[in-house]
Amino acid sequence: MNDTAAAANTPVKSMEEIVALCKRRGFVYPASEIYGGINGFWDYGPLGAQLKNNIRDHWWKRLVECPPLGPDGEPLQIVGLDSAIIQNPSTWVASGHVGGFNDPMQTCRQCKKLFRADHVGEMLAESEWMASLCEALGAATPEDSVLFDTVEPKISDWARKKGKKVAPGLALVRHTAATLAAVRAELGAAGTSPAVGLRGLVKLLASEQRLPDGPQLPCPNCGGDLTEPRQFNLMFESYVGAVKDDASKVYLRPETAQGIFLNYRNVLDTTRVKVPFGIAQVGKAFRNEVTPRNFVFRSREFEQMELEWFCRPDEAAQWYDFWKHERMQWWLSLGIDPANLRLREHEADELAHYSKMCVDIEYRYPFSAPGFGELEGIAHRGCYDLSRHQEHAKQRMEYFDPDRNERYVPSVIEPASGLTRGTLVLICEAFTPTPDRAGTKYLLKFKPRFAPIKAGIFPLIAKEGMPEVAQRLYMDLREQFTCQFDVKQSIGKRYARMDEVGTPYCFTIDGQTLVDQTVTVRERDTAAQQRLGIDAVKAFLHERLDA
């Protein structure tokens, strides 16, 4: 099935409802919320932290503690690392981040907001004023075409009424008659059909005169004119020591990869690995994103799960193919629908300065549907990083291959994924509207092994000895499973709460338990119930959570 067909069969979930559920049930909170928050930063609540740790632990288990089998059927050699967030600033000079880690930025001349130039089109399509204009013109999306002669009166009416509130910076709103006259002249001079794409029309409605390089997209916030793009470095700066000067300037790492490259020789010297081998790391990274958005998808502080795979240069292409397949299979193992994942090879003009080849594993997020957004990148970095550090640090990064009696700088294949994005993906994937279920409008269908809470242990009522039996069962399970013991509210409300946080099984102690030592097992996805011996609960959970 192609992407278009798959999208047609996949209902779009509400990102607004997902964000609200995450806040209400303790998955993700706005950082510093009591002070009004801070854009691009998020705190993970009790359930969000547990979910994130479950994903992290699974990644570490499958890469470091029990690495995958290589093409020869033997386990790969992969070791772990935890490097410092702040490194010698020469690191980032050598890596190219000081000179080249930039994004093209544009500023609105009216509202003064700053935007990444390559995000303006996407943000414009999502903007309030663009949605308002589409509605006024009867267009479903900014990609639709309209008949200008037909919609001109509607455009004029929108500019005088709704446009003044939602797009005060738009040239059309500021100078309605002059702008419409300029648009008529432009379309006539160009000899275009009366039908014009709405996105192209908006460019004309944003400019009072034709610019030398043609009409430009307007500000997603207010509709105003944007400046020409200029470069903006994404690294956060800080200082070490008592004096703030250039000599004491350092950077918060924008990626975890460089800490691995800096320790490449240390790992070779202190372990028994030999090429090909990998070094894996999970940790925080920081990027001064100017337009963080889409919840935790693009934020300024985030966690990465990165592997640097060191291999012979003449074997790099084969390993690149190996890791593409291996990483896709890993994401599928988390319970993600294959229709919501795809591999997309980068075009030549998309490649980073260090990359020879790169492929993204992309997910169909609710905010990108029916399209996809990045989840993980698998890059063929060649020998760029080790060679640069060899040059700048004056330290040999060559590897001596005893089997071939030769020296070379290894090539590197880098599967780099976002742990915070992975957490978002599992929440989006699990989010399931349940309009026909009593007590809750949603449930989270996590694969059981990744659910933050594995089991709810409930006495049916808080008397007649039921709480004591439930407490004993909870104490027996808690050292092996993340469980929740709860005696408050009706059993229906407790079930609904467990559904909303994704708990796969609930065990209820009732009157029959006191007679025959059986409990009611309720399954999250279907709400089906069955009886089970209380002494079989532990084996029941092991069987289903290990799947």
User: What is the CATH number for 26?
Assistant: 3.30.930.10
8: pLDDT strictly greater than 50? no
Task: State whether 419 and 373 are in the same domain.
Answer: yes
At 400, list the tokens. Answer: 């001596």
In this structure, the dihedral spanned by the alpha carbons of residues 495, 500, 501 and 502, taken in order and rounded to 10 degrees, is 80
Mean pLDDT (whole number) for 213-218: 79
Q: What average pLDDT is seen over the chain? A: 91
Mean pLDDT (whole number) for 276-305: 94
**Residue that wins the pLDDT comparison between 406 and 146:** 406
Radius of gyration of the chain (CA): 28
Task: Please list, in sequence order, all residues whose beta carbon lies within 8 angstroms of the beta carbon of residue 473, skipping any fewer than 6 positions away.
Answer: 457, 507, 509, 519, 534, 537
Q: What pLDDT score does 194 carry?
A: 63
Whether residue 245 is contained in a domain is answered as no
HSE of 40, CA atoms in CB hemisphere, 13 A? 12
310: pLDDT strictly greater than 90? yes
Q: Which of 368, 396, 428 marks a domain boundary?
A: 428
Task: State whether 126 and 89 are in the same domain.
Answer: no
Residue 303 and residue 419 in contact, taking contact as beta carbons nearer than 8 Å: yes
The overall longest dimension of the chain from CA atoms, in Å, is 89
Mean pLDDT (whole number) for 166-175: 92
Residue 191 domain boundaries: 104-230
Straight-line distance from the first to the last Cα atom of the chain, in angstroms, rounded to the nearest whole number = 27
For residue 467, whether the previous peptide bond is cis, meaning omega lies within 30 degrees of 0, is no
Whether residue 332 is contained in a domain is answered as yes
Among 3-7, 179-183, 230-234, 465-469, the range with the most confident prediction by mean pLDDT is: 465-469
Beta bridge partners of 433: 442
Among 78-92, 141-155, 315-329, 428-442, where is mean pLDDT lowest?
141-155
Whether residue 240 is contained in a domain is answered as no
SS3 24: helix
Whether residue 207 is contained in a domain is answered as yes
Q: Residue 47 and residue 194: Cα distance in Å, rounded?
A: 55
Q: What pLDDT score does 1 carry?
A: 42
Whether residue 395 is contained in a domain is answered as no
Tens of pLDDT, residue by residue over 192-213, are: 556 788 888 888 888 764 555 6
Task: State whether 111 and 223 are in the same domain.
Answer: yes
Task: State whether 445 and 468 are in the same domain.
Answer: yes
Whole-number Cα distances in Å, 29 to 33, 45, 46, 142, 288: 8, 6, 10, 32, 20
Question: What share of the chain has pLDDT > 70, as a percent?
Answer: 95
The count of other CB atoms within 10 Å of the CB of residue 258 is 21
Specify the amino acid at residue 243: V
User: What is the CATH number for 523?
Assistant: 3.40.50.800
In this structure, the dihedral spanned by the alpha carbons of residues 294, 296, 300 and 306, taken in order and rounded to 10 degrees, is -120
Task: State whether 424 and 453 are in the same domain.
Answer: no
DSSP 8-state code for residue 504: -
Specify the amino acid at residue 394: K
Q: Which of 230, 260, 293 marks a domain boundary?
A: 230
The count of other CB atoms within 10 Å of the CB of residue 191 is 6
Cα-based angle 288, 36, 24 (whole degrees, multiple of 5): 100
Task: State whether 367 and 492 are in the same domain.
Answer: no
Write the DSSP assignment of 408-464 as a string of letters. Answer: EPPEEEEEEEEHHHHHHHHHHHHEEE-TTSTT-SEEE---GGG-S--EEEEESSS-T
pLDDT interval class at 139 (50, 70, 90):
confident
Task: State whether 421 and 442 are in the same domain.
Answer: no
Whole-number Cα distances in Å, 500 to 6, 52, 397, 450, 543: 27, 17, 51, 15, 23
Q: Which of 395, 428, 461 marks a domain boundary?
A: 428
507's enclosing H/E stretch is strand 505-509
Whether residue 88 is contained in a domain is answered as yes
Task: State whether 222 and 338 are in the same domain.
Answer: no
Task: State whether 468 and 497 are in the same domain.
Answer: yes
Write the DSSP assignment of 179-216 as a string of letters. Answer: HHHHHHHHHHHHT--SEEEHHHHHHHHT-SS--TT---
Whether residue 143 is contained in a domain is answered as yes
Task: State whether 183 and 306 are in the same domain.
Answer: no
Residue 366 and residue 13 in contact, taking contact as beta carbons nearer than 8 Å: yes
Whole-number Cα distances in Å, 513 to 455, 488, 491, 495: 18, 19, 16, 19
Q: What pLDDT score does 307 carry?
A: 98
DSSP 8-state code for residue 298: B
Q: Residue 113 and residue 130: Cα distance in Å, rounded?
A: 17
Q: Residue 10 and residue 275: Cα distance in Å, rounded?
A: 43
Task: State whether 39 and 86 are in the same domain.
Answer: yes
148: pLDDT strictly greater than 90? no
The count of other CB atoms within 10 Å of the CB of residue 11 is 8
3-state secondary structure 235-279: CCEEECCCCCCHHHEEECCCCCHHHHHHCHHHHHHHCCCCCCEEE
Please give the sequence-ordered ranges of beta strands (E in DSSP) within 84-125, or none if there are none: 102-107, 114-116
Residue with tokens 């408050």: 488
Whether residue 237 is contained in a domain is answered as no
Among 28-37, 148-157, 290-299, the range with the most confident prediction by mean pLDDT is: 28-37
Q: What pLDDT score does 424 carry?
A: 98
189: pLDDT strictly greater than 60? no
Please give the sequence-ordered ranges of beta strands (E in DSSP) within 252-372, or none if there are none: 277-286, 301-311, 341-345, 357-363
* Phi and psi at residue 377, to the nearest 5°: -115, 135
Q: What pLDDT score does 229 carry?
A: 85
At 91, list the tokens. Answer: 């690191």
The count of other CB atoms within 10 Å of the CB of residue 19 is 18
Q: Residue 458 and residue 473: Cα distance in Å, rounded?
A: 10
Specify the amino acid at residue 52: K
| pTM over the 0.75 mark | yes
HSE of 414, CA atoms in CB hemisphere, 13 A? 30
**What's the domain count of the chain?**
3
pLDDT interval class at 7 (50, 70, 90):
very low
DSSP 8-state code for residue 333: T
Q: Residue 445 and residue 430: Cα distance in Å, rounded?
A: 4
Task: State whether 416 and 521 are in the same domain.
Answer: no
